[in-house]
Amino acid sequence: MSTPSESTPPEIPSIKPGELDQDEVWWRDHQVWLQERGYLLRPRYRPDWVPSWLAGKGKYYDYEDGQRLPHGQLIDAMRVADGATVVLKQVLRTEHPYEVAITGFLTSESLKSNPKNHCVPIHEVLQVPEDGNIQILVMPLLRKFYDPRFLTVGEAVEFCRQAFEGLQFIHEHHVAHRDISDLNIMMDPRPLFPQLFHFARPSETQDMRGTARYYTRTRYPVKYYFIDFGLSRKFDPAAGPPRSRPIWGGDRSVPEFHRSLGPCDPFPTDIYYIGNVVRTVLLQEYRGLDFMQPLVDEMVQTEPGKRPTIQEVVSRFELLMGSLSTWRLRSRLATRNENWLIRSIRVIAHAFRTIFYVLIFRPALPKP
Protein backbone atom coordinates (compact mmCIF):
# COMPACT_ATOMS: atom_id res chain seq x y z
CA MET A 1 0.00 0.00 0.00
CA SER A 2 1.43 3.34 -0.99
CA THR A 3 1.72 6.24 1.38
CA PRO A 4 0.09 9.60 0.58
CA SER A 5 3.49 11.10 -0.24
CA GLU A 6 4.12 8.31 -2.75
CA SER A 7 0.76 8.49 -4.52
CA THR A 8 0.26 12.27 -4.54
CA PRO A 9 2.28 14.19 -7.16
CA PRO A 10 4.20 17.22 -5.90
CA GLU A 11 2.27 20.47 -6.02
CA ILE A 12 3.26 22.99 -8.65
CA PRO A 13 3.40 26.50 -7.17
CA SER A 14 0.64 28.68 -8.56
CA ILE A 15 1.76 31.59 -10.73
CA LYS A 16 -0.03 34.91 -10.58
CA PRO A 17 -1.01 36.50 -13.90
CA GLY A 18 2.04 38.04 -15.55
CA GLU A 19 4.58 36.53 -13.15
CA LEU A 20 7.65 34.65 -14.37
CA ASP A 21 7.10 30.96 -14.95
CA GLN A 22 9.68 28.31 -14.05
CA ASP A 23 11.57 28.55 -17.35
CA GLU A 24 11.66 32.32 -17.18
CA VAL A 25 13.04 32.23 -13.65
CA TRP A 26 16.04 30.30 -14.99
CA TRP A 27 16.78 33.09 -17.47
CA ARG A 28 16.35 35.75 -14.77
CA ASP A 29 18.78 33.92 -12.50
CA HIS A 30 21.37 33.93 -15.31
CA GLN A 31 20.76 37.51 -16.47
CA VAL A 32 23.86 38.94 -14.80
CA TRP A 33 26.11 36.24 -16.25
CA LEU A 34 24.64 36.70 -19.71
CA GLN A 35 25.19 40.46 -19.50
CA GLU A 36 28.80 39.83 -18.54
CA ARG A 37 29.07 37.69 -21.68
CA GLY A 38 27.67 40.55 -23.76
CA TYR A 39 23.93 39.77 -23.98
CA LEU A 40 21.31 41.97 -22.32
CA LEU A 41 17.87 40.52 -21.59
CA ARG A 42 14.67 42.56 -21.57
CA PRO A 43 13.68 44.30 -18.28
CA ARG A 44 11.29 41.45 -17.41
CA TYR A 45 14.25 39.14 -16.84
CA ARG A 46 16.43 41.41 -14.74
CA PRO A 47 16.76 40.81 -10.97
CA ASP A 48 15.41 44.26 -10.08
CA TRP A 49 12.33 44.00 -12.33
CA VAL A 50 9.12 45.56 -11.01
CA PRO A 51 6.04 44.83 -13.19
CA SER A 52 5.04 48.07 -14.89
CA TRP A 53 1.32 47.27 -14.83
CA LEU A 54 1.28 47.53 -11.04
CA ALA A 55 1.62 51.30 -11.38
CA GLY A 56 -0.57 51.66 -14.47
CA LYS A 57 -3.94 50.78 -15.90
CA GLY A 58 -5.03 47.75 -17.86
CA LYS A 59 -4.09 44.09 -17.72
CA TYR A 60 -0.58 42.66 -17.59
CA TYR A 61 -0.80 41.37 -21.16
CA ASP A 62 -1.17 44.94 -22.42
CA TYR A 63 2.36 45.75 -21.28
CA GLU A 64 5.66 44.91 -22.95
CA ASP A 65 7.08 43.37 -19.78
CA GLY A 66 3.95 41.27 -19.27
CA GLN A 67 4.70 38.94 -22.19
CA ARG A 68 5.76 35.40 -21.31
CA LEU A 69 8.16 33.47 -23.54
CA PRO A 70 6.42 31.36 -26.21
CA HIS A 71 9.01 28.62 -25.60
CA GLY A 72 10.90 28.47 -22.34
CA GLN A 73 14.16 27.31 -23.91
CA LEU A 74 14.32 30.36 -26.22
CA ILE A 75 14.73 34.00 -25.30
CA ASP A 76 15.62 37.18 -27.14
CA ALA A 77 18.47 39.44 -26.10
CA MET A 78 20.35 42.50 -27.25
CA ARG A 79 23.98 41.97 -28.20
CA VAL A 80 25.73 44.75 -26.30
CA ALA A 81 28.57 45.07 -28.82
CA ASP A 82 26.37 46.28 -31.67
CA GLY A 83 22.79 46.48 -30.40
CA ALA A 84 21.65 43.59 -32.61
CA THR A 85 18.71 41.44 -31.49
CA VAL A 86 19.70 37.79 -31.10
CA VAL A 87 18.06 34.64 -29.78
CA LEU A 88 19.53 32.44 -27.06
CA LYS A 89 18.65 28.76 -27.06
CA GLN A 90 19.14 26.48 -24.08
CA VAL A 91 20.45 23.04 -25.12
CA LEU A 92 20.70 20.09 -22.71
CA ARG A 93 23.50 17.68 -23.57
CA THR A 94 21.60 14.76 -22.02
CA GLU A 95 18.58 15.34 -24.27
CA HIS A 96 20.29 16.47 -27.48
CA PRO A 97 23.93 15.35 -27.31
CA TYR A 98 24.68 16.04 -31.00
CA GLU A 99 22.89 19.35 -31.60
CA VAL A 100 25.78 21.70 -30.86
CA ALA A 101 28.32 19.59 -32.76
CA ILE A 102 26.17 19.13 -35.88
CA THR A 103 25.01 22.75 -35.96
CA GLY A 104 28.60 23.87 -35.50
CA PHE A 105 29.76 21.59 -38.32
CA LEU A 106 27.13 22.81 -40.79
CA THR A 107 27.88 26.47 -40.01
CA SER A 108 31.67 26.16 -39.72
CA GLU A 109 33.98 28.62 -41.45
CA SER A 110 34.55 26.25 -44.36
CA LEU A 111 30.82 25.77 -45.01
CA LYS A 112 28.95 28.90 -43.94
CA SER A 113 29.99 30.89 -47.03
CA ASN A 114 28.44 28.30 -49.36
CA PRO A 115 25.40 30.00 -50.99
CA LYS A 116 23.47 26.72 -50.75
CA ASN A 117 23.87 26.64 -46.98
CA HIS A 118 20.53 27.42 -45.34
CA CYS A 119 21.38 26.24 -41.83
CA VAL A 120 20.81 28.74 -39.04
CA PRO A 121 24.05 30.61 -38.28
CA ILE A 122 25.53 30.20 -34.80
CA HIS A 123 27.24 33.34 -33.49
CA GLU A 124 28.57 31.78 -30.31
CA VAL A 125 28.19 28.82 -27.95
CA LEU A 126 28.12 29.63 -24.23
CA GLN A 127 28.72 27.09 -21.49
CA VAL A 128 26.65 27.66 -18.36
CA PRO A 129 29.30 27.88 -15.63
CA GLU A 130 27.56 25.97 -12.83
CA ASP A 131 25.95 23.25 -15.00
CA GLY A 132 28.02 21.33 -17.55
CA ASN A 133 24.83 19.85 -19.01
CA ILE A 134 23.54 23.18 -20.34
CA GLN A 135 24.90 25.09 -23.32
CA ILE A 136 23.51 28.26 -24.88
CA LEU A 137 23.42 28.74 -28.66
CA VAL A 138 23.48 32.37 -29.78
CA MET A 139 21.57 32.75 -33.06
CA PRO A 140 20.05 35.54 -35.15
CA LEU A 141 16.43 36.51 -34.64
CA LEU A 142 14.30 34.60 -37.15
CA ARG A 143 10.59 34.44 -37.97
CA LYS A 144 8.16 31.76 -39.18
CA PHE A 145 8.72 31.36 -42.91
CA TYR A 146 5.02 31.65 -43.78
CA ASP A 147 4.30 34.85 -41.81
CA PRO A 148 3.44 37.19 -43.44
CA ARG A 149 1.66 35.16 -46.10
CA PHE A 150 3.02 34.63 -49.61
CA LEU A 151 1.54 37.04 -52.16
CA THR A 152 2.73 35.72 -55.54
CA VAL A 153 3.54 32.41 -57.20
CA GLY A 154 7.13 33.61 -57.49
CA GLU A 155 7.43 34.16 -53.75
CA ALA A 156 6.24 30.61 -53.02
CA VAL A 157 8.46 29.14 -55.72
CA GLU A 158 11.49 30.94 -54.31
CA PHE A 159 10.77 29.52 -50.86
CA CYS A 160 10.67 26.00 -52.33
CA ARG A 161 13.86 26.61 -54.29
CA GLN A 162 15.73 27.66 -51.16
CA ALA A 163 14.24 24.88 -49.02
CA PHE A 164 15.16 22.16 -51.51
CA GLU A 165 18.61 23.68 -52.04
CA GLY A 166 19.17 23.87 -48.29
CA LEU A 167 18.19 20.26 -47.71
CA GLN A 168 20.41 19.21 -50.60
CA PHE A 169 23.33 20.94 -48.87
CA ILE A 170 22.57 19.15 -45.59
CA HIS A 171 22.29 15.74 -47.26
CA GLU A 172 25.44 16.26 -49.33
CA HIS A 173 27.30 16.56 -46.04
CA HIS A 174 25.83 13.25 -44.86
CA VAL A 175 23.53 14.80 -42.26
CA ALA A 176 19.87 13.80 -41.88
CA HIS A 177 17.81 16.51 -40.21
CA ARG A 178 15.07 14.15 -38.97
CA ASP A 179 12.75 16.90 -37.71
CA ILE A 180 11.76 19.10 -40.66
CA SER A 181 8.37 20.73 -40.16
CA ASP A 182 6.71 24.11 -40.54
CA LEU A 183 8.15 24.94 -37.11
CA ASN A 184 11.75 24.26 -38.09
CA ILE A 185 12.06 26.32 -41.25
CA MET A 186 12.30 30.05 -40.66
CA MET A 187 13.37 33.21 -42.43
CA ASP A 188 15.61 36.19 -41.81
CA PRO A 189 12.97 38.88 -41.11
CA ARG A 190 15.21 41.93 -41.39
CA PRO A 191 14.47 42.73 -45.06
CA LEU A 192 10.70 42.57 -44.43
CA PHE A 193 10.69 44.06 -40.93
CA PRO A 194 13.35 46.79 -40.81
CA GLN A 195 12.18 47.79 -37.30
CA LEU A 196 11.78 44.12 -36.30
CA PHE A 197 9.03 43.02 -33.89
CA HIS A 198 8.40 41.82 -30.35
CA PHE A 199 9.80 38.35 -29.74
CA ALA A 200 6.75 37.17 -27.77
CA ARG A 201 4.17 39.13 -29.81
CA PRO A 202 5.44 39.04 -33.42
CA SER A 203 2.54 41.07 -34.76
CA GLU A 204 3.59 44.10 -32.69
CA THR A 205 6.58 46.43 -32.51
CA GLN A 206 9.36 45.76 -30.03
CA ASP A 207 7.94 48.33 -27.60
CA MET A 208 4.38 47.06 -28.22
CA ARG A 209 3.15 50.52 -29.12
CA GLY A 210 1.85 49.56 -32.53
CA THR A 211 1.58 46.96 -35.27
CA ALA A 212 4.86 45.77 -36.76
CA ARG A 213 5.03 47.12 -40.31
CA TYR A 214 6.52 45.03 -43.08
CA TYR A 215 7.31 44.91 -46.80
CA THR A 216 6.65 42.13 -49.31
CA ARG A 217 9.12 39.40 -50.25
CA THR A 218 9.11 40.62 -53.85
CA ARG A 219 10.27 44.08 -52.86
CA TYR A 220 12.84 42.88 -50.32
CA PRO A 221 13.73 39.18 -50.78
CA VAL A 222 14.47 37.03 -47.75
CA LYS A 223 16.64 34.01 -46.99
CA TYR A 224 15.14 30.90 -45.40
CA TYR A 225 16.87 28.73 -42.80
CA PHE A 226 16.60 25.27 -41.30
CA ILE A 227 16.74 25.30 -37.51
CA ASP A 228 16.72 22.82 -34.61
CA PHE A 229 19.24 20.06 -35.26
CA GLY A 230 18.51 18.38 -31.94
CA LEU A 231 17.40 15.11 -33.59
CA SER A 232 19.87 15.28 -36.49
CA ARG A 233 22.57 12.71 -37.09
CA LYS A 234 25.71 12.70 -39.21
CA PHE A 235 26.57 9.45 -41.00
CA ASP A 236 29.80 8.03 -42.31
CA PRO A 237 29.28 6.96 -45.93
CA ALA A 238 32.11 4.44 -45.57
CA ALA A 239 30.16 2.61 -42.84
CA GLY A 240 27.49 1.38 -45.24
CA PRO A 241 23.86 2.40 -45.80
CA PRO A 242 22.67 4.90 -43.18
CA ARG A 243 20.32 3.45 -40.60
CA SER A 244 18.76 4.93 -37.49
CA ARG A 245 15.82 4.12 -35.27
CA PRO A 246 12.74 6.26 -35.92
CA ILE A 247 12.26 9.18 -33.60
CA TRP A 248 9.16 11.34 -33.56
CA GLY A 249 9.64 15.00 -34.37
CA GLY A 250 7.15 17.77 -35.01
CA ASP A 251 5.55 15.99 -37.97
CA ARG A 252 3.97 12.78 -36.69
CA SER A 253 2.48 11.68 -40.01
CA VAL A 254 5.51 9.80 -41.39
CA PRO A 255 4.09 6.60 -42.96
CA GLU A 256 7.07 4.32 -42.25
CA PHE A 257 7.07 5.21 -38.55
CA HIS A 258 3.49 3.97 -38.23
CA ARG A 259 4.42 0.59 -39.71
CA SER A 260 7.63 -0.19 -37.85
CA LEU A 261 10.01 1.25 -35.28
CA GLY A 262 12.94 -0.71 -36.64
CA PRO A 263 16.05 1.04 -38.01
CA CYS A 264 15.51 2.71 -41.39
CA ASP A 265 17.17 5.13 -43.79
CA PRO A 266 16.44 8.66 -42.44
CA PHE A 267 17.17 10.47 -45.72
CA PRO A 268 13.94 9.45 -47.52
CA THR A 269 12.11 10.47 -44.35
CA ASP A 270 13.58 13.97 -44.73
CA ILE A 271 12.15 14.01 -48.28
CA TYR A 272 8.73 13.19 -46.86
CA TYR A 273 9.10 15.91 -44.24
CA ILE A 274 9.96 18.70 -46.67
CA GLY A 275 7.34 17.51 -49.15
CA ASN A 276 4.72 17.54 -46.43
CA VAL A 277 5.65 21.10 -45.47
CA VAL A 278 5.10 22.21 -49.07
CA ARG A 279 1.86 20.23 -49.26
CA THR A 280 0.31 21.53 -46.03
CA VAL A 281 1.60 25.11 -45.94
CA LEU A 282 1.44 25.93 -49.66
CA LEU A 283 -0.63 23.53 -51.78
CA GLN A 284 -3.44 23.13 -49.26
CA GLU A 285 -3.55 26.82 -48.36
CA TYR A 286 -3.14 28.55 -51.74
CA ARG A 287 -4.50 28.29 -55.28
CA GLY A 288 -2.22 28.52 -58.30
CA LEU A 289 0.52 26.02 -57.36
CA ASP A 290 -0.96 22.95 -59.02
CA PHE A 291 2.13 22.55 -61.21
CA MET A 292 3.97 21.36 -58.09
CA GLN A 293 1.45 18.67 -57.17
CA PRO A 294 3.01 15.72 -59.08
CA LEU A 295 6.47 16.32 -57.56
CA VAL A 296 5.10 16.74 -54.05
CA ASP A 297 2.96 13.59 -54.43
CA GLU A 298 6.11 11.60 -55.17
CA MET A 299 7.92 13.12 -52.21
CA VAL A 300 5.21 12.14 -49.72
CA GLN A 301 4.29 8.70 -51.06
CA THR A 302 3.98 5.92 -48.53
CA GLU A 303 6.91 3.75 -49.67
CA PRO A 304 10.22 5.46 -48.72
CA GLY A 305 12.20 3.66 -51.42
CA LYS A 306 10.03 5.20 -54.15
CA ARG A 307 10.59 8.78 -53.05
CA PRO A 308 13.05 10.84 -55.11
CA THR A 309 16.40 11.79 -53.61
CA ILE A 310 16.95 15.45 -52.82
CA GLN A 311 19.21 15.70 -55.90
CA GLU A 312 16.32 14.46 -58.06
CA VAL A 313 13.93 16.87 -56.35
CA VAL A 314 16.23 19.83 -57.05
CA SER A 315 16.73 18.81 -60.70
CA ARG A 316 13.01 18.36 -61.35
CA PHE A 317 12.16 21.58 -59.57
CA GLU A 318 14.62 23.50 -61.72
CA LEU A 319 12.80 22.20 -64.80
CA LEU A 320 9.49 23.31 -63.30
CA MET A 321 10.84 26.80 -62.61
CA GLY A 322 12.13 27.03 -66.17
CA SER A 323 8.65 26.30 -67.50
CA LEU A 324 7.05 29.23 -65.66
CA SER A 325 6.72 32.55 -67.44
CA THR A 326 7.51 35.84 -65.75
CA TRP A 327 3.82 36.73 -65.63
CA ARG A 328 2.96 33.36 -64.09
CA LEU A 329 5.52 34.03 -61.36
CA ARG A 330 4.06 37.50 -60.80
CA SER A 331 0.49 36.19 -60.63
CA ARG A 332 -1.41 36.55 -57.37
CA LEU A 333 -1.35 33.68 -54.92
CA ALA A 334 -4.92 33.42 -53.68
CA THR A 335 -5.71 31.73 -50.38
CA ARG A 336 -8.33 29.00 -50.60
CA ASN A 337 -10.55 30.47 -47.87
CA GLU A 338 -10.82 34.08 -49.05
CA ASN A 339 -14.33 35.43 -49.61
CA TRP A 340 -15.46 37.65 -52.50
CA LEU A 341 -14.90 40.91 -50.62
CA ILE A 342 -11.36 40.04 -49.51
CA ARG A 343 -10.64 38.70 -53.00
CA SER A 344 -11.74 41.95 -54.63
CA ILE A 345 -9.55 44.06 -52.36
CA ARG A 346 -6.54 41.80 -52.81
CA VAL A 347 -6.88 41.70 -56.61
CA ILE A 348 -6.81 45.50 -56.81
CA ALA A 349 -3.89 45.78 -54.37
CA HIS A 350 -1.98 43.10 -56.29
CA ALA A 351 -2.46 44.92 -59.60
CA PHE A 352 -1.00 48.16 -58.24
CA ARG A 353 1.90 46.34 -56.54
CA THR A 354 2.73 44.44 -59.72
CA ILE A 355 2.82 47.61 -61.81
CA PHE A 356 5.07 49.25 -59.23
CA TYR A 357 7.47 46.29 -59.06
CA VAL A 358 7.71 46.11 -62.85
CA LEU A 359 8.50 49.82 -63.00
CA ILE A 360 11.30 49.52 -60.41
CA PHE A 361 12.63 46.31 -62.03
CA ARG A 362 11.95 43.93 -59.15
CA PRO A 363 12.35 40.36 -60.46
CA ALA A 364 9.38 38.00 -60.41
CA LEU A 365 11.49 35.39 -58.59
CA PRO A 366 12.72 37.25 -55.48
CA LYS A 367 16.15 35.77 -54.81
CA PRO A 368 18.05 37.41 -51.92
Please list the pLDDT of the chain residue by residue as tens digits (368 residues): 445 445 555 555 667 788 999 999 999 999 999 999 999 999 999 999 999 998 877 889 999 999 999 999 999 999 999 999 999 999 999 999 999 999 999 999 999 999 999 999 999 999 999 999 999 999 999 999 999 999 999 999 999 999 999 999 999 999 999 999 999 999 999 999 999 999 999 999 999 999 999 999 999 999 999 999 999 999 999 888 899 998 999 999 999 999 988 899 999 999 999 999 999 999 999 999 999 999 999 999 999 999 999 999 999 999 999 999 999 999 999 999 999 999 999 999 999 999 999 999 999 999 99
User: Is there a single domain that holds both residue 195 and residue 316?
Assistant: yes
Q: Which residues have a Cβ under 8 Å from the Cβ of 20 and sit 6 or more positions away?
A: 28, 44, 45, 68
Structural domain total, the chain: 2
| In-domain check, residue 110 | yes
| Residue 52, domain extent | 21-140
64 and 176 share one domain: no
Q: Are residues 232 and 181 in the same domain?
A: yes
User: 70 in a domain, yes or no?
Assistant: yes
Q: What is the CATH number of the domain that holds 51?
A: 3.30.200.20
Within this chain, do residues 207 and 335 fall inside the same structural domain, yes or no?
yes
- Going through 134-281 in order, the beta strands assigned E by DSSP cover 134-140, 143-144, 175-176, 185-187, 224-226, 233-234
Same domain? For 305 and 192 the reply is yes
Domain assignment present for residue 221? The answer is yes
The answer to whether position 45 is within a domain reads: yes
Going by C-alpha positions, the residue among 353, 250, 337, 230 that lies closest to residue 285 is: 337
| Residue where a domain stops, chosen among 140, 162, 192 | 140
In a domain, 10, yes or no: no
Domain annotation covers residue 302:
yes
Contact (Cβ atoms closer than 8 angstroms) between residue 295 and residue 320: yes
- Is the domain of 125 the same as that of 188? no
Q: Are residues 172 and 276 in the same domain?
A: yes
User: Is the same domain home to 112 and 201?
Assistant: no
**Cα torsion 275, 281, 230, 40: sign:** positive
**203 and 313 share one domain:** yes
- Angle of helix 266-277 relative to helix 153-172, nearest 10 degrees? 170
